[in-house]
Amino acid sequence: MKSFLAYLFNICLIIICVVSGIKSIALDPSFYEKRYEKYDFYDTLHVSSEDLNQSIHVLLDYIEDNRDDIVVYIDEQEVFNDREKAHMVDVKNLYQKALKVMYVSIGAAMGILFYFLLFEKRYLSFLTRGFLRVLYTVLMLLSFFGIWIFTDFTSFWNWLHTLLFTNDLWLLDPRTSFMINMLPEIIFNQLVFAIVFYLILFIVPLTIFSIYYQIKKAPIGFENS
């Protein structure tokens, strides 16, 4: 049971890391604004920096549930059409569900940690072993998806959308959609890599510590005692 709880604790840690990475990177307006400036989106889309930056702020505020709609105007014309609005409802619902999963994971991780602190003095032995077991699965997934993303990001991105959404509202027409033009594939490509890098920064020190602890500190056969 303790080994299972340690495994579950570390699954919760990974979930917390992934969702917090999405929250801190994907919901940060500066991530997009820097790339708008770098790739000169303002001239490409024929809009001012103020209007384009306002548009991304509106979208992110809506996803964060800080506003009720994505109604925004440029030159007295509404920016987002009905299909884009409907898609953003799906995006917002998905993100809010992810937040709930993260909060449940935080609660579960805290409960498991509290249990170990109270009833198991070798808690670090169990938790570090559990982390290394979860790490094996994480590395397999990162390797598989990493190769896929590097070789064919478009295919990966389309697959992810079919997995996460039950409709085709995410298929936006560049001829009529401002949203797809202000958020092209190159933005999401860099976003995915940034989140993966965030996850790696989280994993590396824990991996080093867990390996060290298992080799130097953990009692031999502790899981069976």
Which pLDDT band, with edges at 50, 70 and 90, does 221 fall under?
Answer: low
Total domains present in the chain: 1
Neighbours of 89 (CB within 10 A): 13
Say yes or no to pLDDT of 10 above 90. yes
CB 132, CB 5: distance < 8 Å? no
Instruction: Please write the tens of the pLDDT for every residue from 139-194.
Output: 999 999 999 999 999 999 999 999 999 999 999 999 999 999 999 999 999 999 99
pLDDT tens, residue by residue, 24-65: 999 999 999 999 999 999 999 999 999 999 999 999 999 999
Collapse the DSSP code of 82 into the 3-class scheme (helix H, G, I; strand E, B; otherwise coil) and give the result: helix
223 or 79, which is more confident? Answer: 79
> Over the range 119-152, which residues count as b (16 or more CB within 10 Å of their CB) and which as e?
ebeebbbbbbbbbbebbeebeeebeeeeeebeee
What is the C-alpha separation between 124 and 121, in angstroms, rounded? Answer: 8
Q: How far apart are CA 215 and CA 209, in angstroms?
A: 10
Domain range for 39 is 2-224
- Check: CB of residue 101 under 8 Å from CB of residue 8: no
**Angle between helix 123-151 and 185-216 (nearest 10):** 150
Band of pLDDT at residue 224, cut at 50, 70 and 90: low
pLDDT average, residue stretch 68-86: 96
Q: How confident is the model at residue 218 (pLDDT cuts 50, 70, 90)?
A: confident
Q: What is the pLDDT of residue 219?
A: 73
Confidence of residue 225 (pLDDT cuts 50, 70, 90): low
